[in-house]
Structure 1
């Protein structure tokens, strides 16, 4: 949510308190902002991008309704219409990539450029600077551990477009009694300092149920587990960076850089913008004496799992990642015909996550003709490979508990297998399985592969990575040598 700062030194809450303390004065309403910046609906913005790309019709995406005429496929026999995925260790000129130097100097930049141009968009060369300040500090407990929580806000310089303000909301929670520097996991999501919508309050009050209508104690939260292990926890609020809809593309950080104008086809989408915000948060964290700057990780689930993977792939300072149930646009290959498809992301509901150019690969009619996923020069296994040799943990749940088949857990496992050779090349270790990606089959539920720098574990819960957090912590610490 976008909001204006009333002062550089005081929070909005303190401003209200000061106002209420002088009842004799009646505050005047703020003058309406006269802005010539375009305000577009999601549908209008989506239509404009199709116009820029000369696309006259997109293929409809599969339906999650199994009774629909275009129901998504869940038959493995029909799942691999494009079995040959883009090579990871072959450069664009056709030569093999056989050394670490070849990867870092030639192949990795080629893959990054392809993702920027065709999938996620590129961060502009000149993005305004972010100034961070601590707005509030309070003591609390996480589980049984005393902690210190801080609300830290990053204000983006908006002098080039004063009509748009961006304030990145981030919280930092550290054990109160710490000695030395601690590892930190940055998690995409609303901070405890952000206003809570009513629907979320009702959900939080509901608690857990034992199946007989009796409320039970909640299990330890991921934050509690991380704090108990001596870690720090950061929450960063994606909507404070960029709204999660197409109508918001002329606002937020994307709109600010574009001075309120509509995107061009290779401009960044929300996933890349959220990743950019996480990187700016990392800039701040490296200035804190309590934090081990070499042990800062990134986490997210679902759309934020996609964002976490993109952030880690593009910013090599993130030392580890917990990528939860990310689906297409995350760890799931575009070339799989199983559940979610590129056409699903190209629809007006989710297209804002991606660069405009991504729509071309769902075009049914356009000036370039029909195109599909096999025309993309890259796929998810290469995105995972961009994280090598850093610690990358891919997490999924099971459909029976709500981690829907739509996400294609099997396809994500195949992508992890296909990415493994890059980890091996970089003196790390991939999954270490004998199968190749075309024949790879997921291990049993709750039987993780946690021996290398690339890890896989499917837990027996739903659309969350919470059951895997303790496994993630233990796996990281083994590699840390703590």
Structure 2
């Protein structure tokens, strides 16, 4: 069976952990240059958008197009011939609390098509369950110590002296703290995840092996017309496609979640695919939830220098001029409306600019107000571990750049509160 990639690679180093900051990075509030945010409710001809109808028919497509052309690139449609194969089922996983399924998602006809491995946990209930959907950094087998979980296809070892099997087994469950499965299952929710390398390796040449190349002809899109974040976002929608085929999952209540670069991915996927009922951004920072015009922590130049594959080439033209961008990230958040949105930061994660994430969430509120929904209404950053907001919610917790049990507890509570709007 041919997969997207031939070699088995497992990422055993920590993706999504805070990077060393360049010496010229600004972390001084007094040094932030003055800026003015573009108004998401002002049309290209200067007319105020005052109705949901005008927002959905005119302004929303316009803003989505601006992000497509200037930041993330296009996202192609669902491919023809896509199909699924359940390769393993355990009806008594997690000490009998859950059903575990392992599924291969084939992106074209035939079992030699490019594919992605999905790991799905569902609570043992008599009704379809809402599911948290998110990509993982280090392989499905790292989110739980269960030896039955298929290892990641892609192995990148720090120590080349150890065997692939030794590297795989030593990393089983190494990311379990980021995926508190029992806590999630106990609340009645499921989890669906896949390794983001199955879609495209996270390096500047990853496109050569990933779906931007292997699926280029089938998707009718040029390789440089989209980005790595676009490819990863596209994969999240393909997980949603599978969930719509699984009677045990409530595909109308899927909750999209992502951390760090995968938080950026979740926001872009949620903006493009409105089937996701709730969108959660965890420490997504620059190019995610944080305002670009607020020059603090990571900048557009930092992103495009360290990760030139994440965004399209045109984004580089704004490296030193975020004020020239026709959009800012509060407008990306506004594209989630009217669906519930959660933005979260960490106190020690200055690189991701927590205040910039807060202000972005706050400035998306006027679009939610069109739907008579309340966003973040407080004017100042809340205290740590004190969530604020309604349909748009925000918290900053103690600690570093990570996904913690505290974060998950807030997301589970948010999902419960928004059942009526899912």
Q: TM-score range by the shorter chain?
A: 0.7 to 0.9
**CA deviations over 1:411-454 (Å, ceiling 9, x no partner):** 11011111111111122221123x3xxxxx3100001114x111
**CA deviations over 1:24-52 (Å, ceiling 9, x no partner):** xxxxxxxxxxxxxxxxxxxxxxxxxxxxx
Alignment match, 2:334:
385
Alignment match, 2:151:
195
Q: 1:361 to 1:219 in 2, by over 3 A?
A: closer
Report how far residue 324 of structure 1 moved: 0.6
Alignment match, 1:182:
129
Distance 2:255 2:267 in 1: 11
* Structure 2 unaligned residues grouped into runs of 5+: 9-18, 142-148, 156-165
C-alpha contact 1:165 1:252 (8 A) present in aligned 2 = no
> Helix, strand or coil: the match of 1:182?
coil
Alignment match, 1:357:
314
Q: 1:65 to 1:379 in 2, by over 3 A?
A: closer
> Helix, strand or coil: the match of 2:388?
coil
Q: 1:127 to 1:290 in 2, by over 3 A?
A: closer
1:88 and 2:44 correspond? no
Distance 2:234 2:268 in 1: 9
Matched residue count: 385
Alignment match, 2:107:
156
Distance 1:232 1:205 in 2: 18
Q: 1:316 to 1:279 in 2, by over 3 A?
A: same
Distance 2:178 2:233 in 1: 27
1:425 and 2:364 correspond? no
Alignment match, 2:15:
none
Distance 1:5 1:454 in 2: 39
**CA deviations over 1:344-403 (Å, ceiling 9, x no partner):** 1111x31211112111212xxxxxxxx62111111100001001111111112221xxxx
Distance 1:4 1:101 in 2: 41
* Structure 1 unaligned residues grouped into runs of 5+: 7-11, 13-62, 208-217, 363-370, 436-440
Q: 1:429 to 1:407 in 2, by over 3 A?
A: same
Q: 1:265 to 1:253 in 2, by over 3 A?
A: closer
Q: TM-score, normalised by structure 1?
A: 0.74
C-alpha contact 1:174 1:231 (8 A) present in aligned 2 = yes
Distance 1:246 1:180 in 2: 44
Report how far residue 280 of structure 1 moved: 1.2
**CA deviations over 1:312-351 (Å, ceiling 9, x no partner):** 111111001221100111001111211100001111x312
Alignment match, 1:325:
283
C-alpha contact 2:135 2:262 (8 A) present in aligned 1 = yes
Alignment match, 2:391:
453
C-alpha contact 2:259 2:283 (8 A) present in aligned 1 = yes
Report how far residue 138 of structure 1 moved: 2.3
Q: 1:91 to 1:324 in 2, by over 3 A?
A: same
Alignment match, 2:273:
315
C-alpha contact 2:4 2:209 (8 A) present in aligned 1 = no
Distance 1:339 1:220 in 2: 24
Report how far residue 166 of structure 1 moved: 2.0
Which of 150, 160, 170 in structure 1 is aligned with 2:118?
170
Q: 1:329 to 1:199 in 2, by over 3 A?
A: farther
Which of 279, 284, 293 in structure 2 is aligned with 1:335?
293
> Helix, strand or coil: the match of 1:357?
helix
Alignment match, 1:26:
none
Matches within 5 A, 1:120-269: 120-124=72-76, 127-142=79-94, 145-157=96-108, 166-175=114-123, 177-189=124-136, 190-192=139-141, 193-195=149-151, 202=170, 221-258=179-216, 267-269=225-227
C-alpha contact 1:423 1:429 (8 A) present in aligned 2 = yes
Alignment match, 1:211:
none
Distance 1:119 1:137 in 2: 40
**CA deviations over 1:60-111 (Å, ceiling 9, x no partner):** xxx9447x3xx201111112x2420111100111100000001101110000
C-alpha contact 2:4 2:214 (8 A) present in aligned 1 = no
Which of 406, 413, 420 in structure 2 is aligned with 1:474?
413
Q: TM-score, normalised by structure 2?
A: 0.83
Report how far residue 283 of structure 1 moved: 1.1
1:103 and 2:50 correspond? no
**C-alpha RMSD over aligned residues:** 2.9
Report how far residue 221 of structure 1 moved: 4.7
Alignment match, 1:72:
25
Which of 217, 228, 231 in structure 2 is aligned with 1:270?
228
**CA deviations over 1:268-315 (Å, ceiling 9, x no partner):** 111111111111110110122122222101111111111111111111
Distance 2:178 2:361 in 1: 29
Per mean C-alpha deviation after superposition, the further-off stretch among 249-258 and 300-309 is: 249-258
Distance 1:396 1:448 in 2: 11
Q: 1:128 to 1:271 in 2, by over 3 A?
A: farther
Q: 1:206 to 1:92 in 2, by over 3 A?
A: closer
